[in-house]
Amino acid sequence: MTEDTAPKRSAWQSFMRLPRVLRLTTYLSIALVLLLVAGLVVFVVLARRPLPQTSGTLELPGLEAEVEVVRDEHGIPQLYGDSVPDLMRAQGYVHAQERFFEMDVRRHATAGRLAELFGEDALESDLYVRTMGWRRVAERELALIKPDTRAALEAYADGVNAFLAVSSPSEIALEYTVLNAGGLDYRPEDWTAVDSLAWLKAMAWDLRGNMVEEIDRVLTTDAVGAERAAELYPPYPFADHAPIVGQGAVVDGVFEQDATTGGTRNPQRPPFTAAQREPFARLQAGLDRMPSWLGSGEGVGSNSWVVDGAHSATGEPLLANDPHLGVGLPGVWMQMGLHCRDVSAACPLDVAGVTFSGVPGVIIGHNADIAWGFTNLGPDVTDLYVERVEGDTWRYDGKARPLQVRTETIEVAGADDVEVTVRATRHGPLLSDVDDVLADVADLAPVERPPGADDTAEDAGEYAVSLAWTALQPSTTADAILALNLATDWDSFHAAIADFAVPAQNIVYADRSGHIGYQASGRVPIRKSGNDGVLPSAGWRPENDWTGEYVPYDGLPNVLDPEEGFVVTANQAVIDDEDYPYFLTGDWDLGYRSERIRTRVVEAGELSVEEMLTLQLDDLNPMAPVLTPYLLDVRLRRGYASGGQRLLRDWDFRQGADSGAAAYYNVTWRNLLELTFHDELPEETWPEGGQRWMAVMEQLLDEPTSPWWDDVTTETEVETRDDIIRAALLAARNELTSRQSPNPDDWSWGALHRLQLRSATLGESGIGVVERMFNRGGWEVAGGNAIVNATGWDAAEGYGVVWAPSVRMVVSLGDFDDSRWVNLTGVSGHPFSEHYTDQTDVWADGETLPWLFGRDAVVDAGADTLTLVPADAD
C-alpha cells in the first residue's frame, strides 16, 4: 500500500497515539488557555461594566421635565433642561456616571476617612485632616449659605444618589471591584451637600498660601543662620516685573481704580490703624532679616490674561486661562455645559466650562454674557504659632488657658481603629501633634521664649505648633459659584465674587458688551502689630494674634477697562505695595511668566484666538539667557567634555521637547543647584529649581567667591563659582551620555521631561498589574519651570513633569463657538473608557478642541444623546 492509498488518520486518532504524558501536558495547556481566555473575558466585562450609558433614555427620580445630555466625540457633556434644580440634579447624575470613585475618594479625604478604604497607608493623611477638622467646618457652612445654593447642592446630591441607587459597586467603578476583591466589602454611602462643601476645603488647602514657606524658613535659618538664609529669599522686583493692577489706590477703605493717592477724603474718619500698617512696614524695613519667600510654591500657579477689542483681531475681548495643578488621573477638571432651553428669569442658567466632580455648577468658563478665568492670588492666609503647652492648658497673656480637646476615632481597613486626640488653642489646631517636622519647628522657630525659660519642660512647658487658617472658619464660597454662573455684567460679577472667601483668587473678566476687568478675591486676615506672617509667632503673646477682621472686599484691587487695554495675571504681585495700605503677602511669584506674557501681548498689538493659544505654549526659559553665557565661559577639554557646550552656542533658549540644548541646560541646572546648595541645606529645603532659585542664582553669578559656591564637604579646598559650574557641566555630560546617548545630537529635553499620569489611589498600589490598569504615561513634553508653558519639574527629584496646565482655554467674546479648550486628561474617570486620556495626546501636541456653546452647534457636533426623564414618565 502506497502512501497515497493508505487510510488517513483523523487528528483525534493521531492525538490518541501520543504517549500518555504528552497527552496530559496538552490537556493542561488547553485548559490553561481556556482559563486565560475566560479570565480575559471576565476582566473585560468587569472593566467595561462601569462605563456610562450615553444614549437612549434613563429615568431620573425628582426631575420635573426631561434633560438632554449631548456628548461630543470626546464625551464632553452639554446638559439642556427647563429648570435650575433639574440641571443640578442631572449634573450630579452625569458626574456620578463618569467619576463617582474620584468623588468618593475626595469626600473620604476631606473627612479624614481614607484609611477606611486604603488601610494604614492612608492614616497619616487622615490624622492631619481630622486635626484640622475640614468636615466639621463644612457642616457649619451648610447653615450659612443662601437657600438657592443649598437647593442646588441638595438637587445635585439627589442626582448622585439616584445613580448610586441603581448601581452595584462593580457598576460604579472598576476600583471598587479591585478593592472588594481584596476583601474590603464596601458599598458607597449616599452623597450629601456637605460632601460637596468639604471638597472646596481640599482646593483651599492646595492653594493655602505660605504655610510651607514658614516651615522652610525656620529649617533654613537653623541650618545656615538668618543672614545667609536671607540671601535665598529675594524680594519681588517691582521695577522689572509689573504687578497685575497698575493704577488706583484705596480711598476710605475702598479701592478706586482712578485714584492716584490713597488715604481719606474725610478728615474726621480715622486713618488705617497701626495694626493694619505694621505688618507691611515691618516686612519692608526688615527684608534682610525676614525676607519674602517667592511664590506660593510651584504647581499651584496659573496663567490668565484678557485683552479688549482694540487688542483683539476679532474686535471683541479675548480671555485665556490655563490653571497649573499637580498631574494625575483622573484630571481635576471635567468639562461640561449647563443650559436652560429657554433662558428666562425662571430658568436663567446658560453656562459652560470646567467643573469639579462633586460640586454643582461651573468653576471656570463663560455664560451667555460674561467669561472669567482664575489664577491663585496666594495671599498669606495661614500663620503658624509656637504654643507653650502645659498639660491640658496653654499659656496666653501670662495665664494658663484650657486647651480645646476632642477625641475622634479613625476606622482602618485591615487593622484596628485608631483613636486621635485633637488639641487646639484660640489660634487653631495643634498640627505638631501629627507632624514631626512641625514638632521640630516648635523647638527651632526663632521666637522670643518666655523670660527665664531654658526650654525645658519644667520651665517652658511643651512647645507645639498651631495653625491659623482662613479656611478653618466657615464661609460662603459655594454661594459665589452659583452667583458667578448667573452673572450678566460687571456689577453682578463683582457682587458674586464678594462671597468667594477661600481659596483667594485673581479673577479676570470679559463681557459681550466689550468690557474687560480684574478682581482680587478672598478672605485675607489683618494681623496685629507683632505678627508679619513671615515666620512662626509666639502664641502666648496677644500682639501676635489676628485682629479678627479681614481686608475689606471693596478694598481689594480691581479694575474695569484698564488704561492698558489688557490684564495679565500669573501669580505675580497684585499691586505695588508701596502705597497699598493692606498687607496681602510678601510671598509673590517673581513674575517671570507674567512679564513674558505682557511682553508678547504688547508686541502683538492685536491677538487672534490662535495667537492666544500659541502664547500659552511659549517655552522661552527666562533664566537661560542669564546663565548660558557663564556656562560657555568655562573652558572644557575639546571633544567629549565640551560636546554639550556646542549645543548651547546657537540655542534660542526655548525648551521644545526635541531640543538637545534644553536637555543639556536643564541637566546642568539641576547639577548646579545640587553642587551649590545640597551640602548646606536640609534635604526638606533642597532647591526645586523654580522661580525663586532662578533669582537666587542670578544674584550668586555676580559673586564668584560667595560662600555658597564652596563645597563644605571638601576640607582642603575652597570652591568658587567657576569650579562648581565646571563640575556641573561635566556631570551633565556624563548623565546625558548614560541616560540617552554619547552623541549630543541625539539628546532631547522631552526624553527626560516626560508626563506620567498616575492614579493617586490604586495607581500607587505597588502591584504592577493593578498599576498598569489605572496609570498612563510616557508623553514627551516641552516647557518647564517659570515658563509660560508651565510643565514644572522638581530639581530635587528628577526631570519628570509634576505640575502642568490642567486645562487650556481661550474664550472669544465675539463668537463663543470660536472658543477653544483642551483638558490634560479626559472627561472620564474610568480607565477603560475611550475618554480616560483621549485629550492628553491633543494637549501634549499643543492642540485644542472646539468649545461649542450655541445649541445648534452643540447638537450638530453631538456623538451621543442621553435623555433623562422623570421617573413617573411613560
* Cβ-contact 760, 328 below 8 angstroms: yes
Beta-bridge partners for 566: 307
> Does 214 appear as a known binding residue?
yes
* Cβ-contact 619, 783 below 8 angstroms: yes
Beta-bridge partners for 481: none
> Does 380 appear as a known binding residue?
yes
Residue 314 is classified by DSSP as T
* Cβ-contact 196, 360 below 8 angstroms: yes
**Terminal Cα distance for the chain, rounded:** 78
The pTM for the full model equals 0.89
Residues 6+ apart with CB under 8 A from 618: 596, 597, 600, 787, 788, 789
Please report the pLDDT score of residue 699 as a whole number: 96
Write the CA distances from 217 to 530, 689, 807, integer angstroms. Answer: 18, 17, 32
What are the residue numbers of the active site? 302
Name residue 38's amino acid: A
Nearest residue to 319 via CA among 110, 511, 536, 550:
511
* Cβ-contact 466, 431 below 8 angstroms: yes
> Does 455 appear as a known binding residue?
no
Name residue 490's amino acid: W
Q: Is the dihedral of CA 478, 480, 481, 482 positive or negative?
A: positive
Give Dmax (Cα) for the chain: 129
Residues 6+ apart with CB under 8 A from 110: 129, 134, 135, 138, 195, 198, 199, 201, 202
DSSP H helices, 707-752, are 721-739, 749-752
Strands of 203-273 (E only): list them.
249-251, 254-256
Three-state DSSP state, 299: coil
Beta carbons within 10 angstroms of residue 280's beta carbon: 18
Give the containing element (helix H, strand E) for 337.
strand 334-340
Q: What is the CA radius of gyration of the chain?
A: 30
Residues 6+ apart with CB under 8 A from 242: 568, 572, 591, 594, 595, 598
* Cβ-contact 544, 277 below 8 angstroms: no
Residues 6+ apart with CB under 8 A from 843: 805, 808, 822, 823, 824
Please report the pLDDT score of residue 285 as a whole number: 31
Helix 624-633, helix 721-739: angle, nearest 10: 100
Backbone angles phi, psi at 355, to 5 degrees: -125, 160
* Cβ-contact 333, 627 below 8 angstroms: no
Nearest residue to 559 via CA among 490, 505, 612, 512:
490
Please report the pLDDT score of residue 40 as a whole number: 55
Please report the pLDDT score of residue 8 as a whole number: 55
Residue 681 is classified by DSSP as S
Three-state DSSP state, 107: helix
Which tens digit of pLDDT belongs to each residue from 733-767? 999 999 999 999 999 999 999 999 999 899 988 88
Please report the pLDDT score of residue 296 as a whole number: 34
Please report the pLDDT score of residue 386 as a whole number: 92
Three cell numbers written together for 133:
477638622
Distance of alpha carbon 812 from alpha carbon 36, whole angstroms: 53
DSSP H helices, 249-331, are 274-285
* Cβ-contact 329, 759 below 8 angstroms: yes
Distance of alpha carbon 810 from alpha carbon 848, whole angstroms: 10
Write the CA distances from 299 to 201, 803, 839, 863, integer angstroms. Answer: 18, 5, 21, 35
Write the CA distances from 176 to 179, 186, 247, 256, 765, integer angstroms. Answer: 5, 7, 54, 54, 14
Nearest residue to 431 via CA among 588, 221, 208, 223:
208
Nearest residue to 228 via CA among 585, 533, 677, 590:
677
Please report the pLDDT score of residue 14 as a whole number: 56
Three cell numbers written together for 860:
450638530
Torsion over CA of 543, 548, 552 and 555, rounded to 10 degrees? Answer: 10
Please report the pLDDT score of residue 9 as a whole number: 57
Give the chain's residues under pLDDT 70: 1-44, 206-211, 260-300, 451-461, 873-874
Please report the pLDDT score of residue 1 as a whole number: 45
Distance of alpha carbon 28 from alpha carbon 24, whole angstroms: 6
Distance of alpha carbon 203 from alpha carbon 823, whole angstroms: 18
